[in-house]
Amino acid sequence: MGIRWALAGYPIEDLYEMAAIVEQGGFDFYARLIARATDPRVKSELKFLRDEEAVHKAFFLDQLRARGGAPRGSVTAELQSLLEKEFLEPMDSMFTAGRISDNDNTLRFGSAMEQKSIDFYTALKGSVGSAQRDALMKIIAQEEGHKRKLELIRAY
């Protein structure tokens, strides 16, 4: 069971900014895995996942700009605390603790992080209009695909 995201009361601009930061974290995570991958097929799959994270980040930044906002690269202290606890600290720990050398553990961790993104975007759907909701549904489907792909890579 993933975290229950309580997003009511936060400005949508902050939530889009947070989503862009989450996607940048995913991009960085996959880039680090690519640098360590030795199997060309695995490397190719990871590059695909990394590049989709960049597309997702662009969507959230476009939504922010459409509302007159400018990307800041940061969020309120409360959202930053949540972001660090749920996304940033676990990723840093994964790499600094040396657990990245264990492929199975790393891919399992990636799958769990994708699930956190899915949960976050599912909660975010309640804060946006219908056009953005449709786009979020597509991103959620892609994140679910990422999770499946990580499981397939684990099976290689």
pLDDT, residue 36, reads 83
pLDDT, residue 103, reads 74
CA dist list (Å): 45 to 8, 40, 42, 95, 112: 36, 9, 5, 20, 18
Say which CATH topology domain 12-68+76-155 has: Ferritin (1.20.1260)
DSSP secondary structure string for all residues of 105-145:
HHHHHHHHHHHHHHHHHHHHGGGS-HHHHHHHHHHHHHHHH
The torsion angles phi and psi of 8, rounded to 5 degrees, stand at -60, 140
Could you say which residues of the chain have pLDDT below 50? Answer: 1-2
Tokens 């994964």 correspond to what residue?
A: 94
pLDDT, residue 107, reads 85
pLDDT, residue 101, reads 64
pLDDT, residue 121, reads 92
pLDDT, residue 130, reads 87
pLDDT, residue 3, reads 56
pLDDT, residue 20, reads 95
Please give the Cα distance from 25 to 19 (Å, whole number): 10
Are the beta carbons of 30 and 46 closer than 8 angstroms? yes
pLDDT, residue 2, reads 47
Tokens of 6: 């309580």
Contacts of 73 (CB under 8 A, 6+ apart): 17, 21
The pTM (predicted TM-score) of the whole model is: 0.88
pLDDT single digits (tens) 103-113: 777 888 889 99
pLDDT, residue 42, reads 85
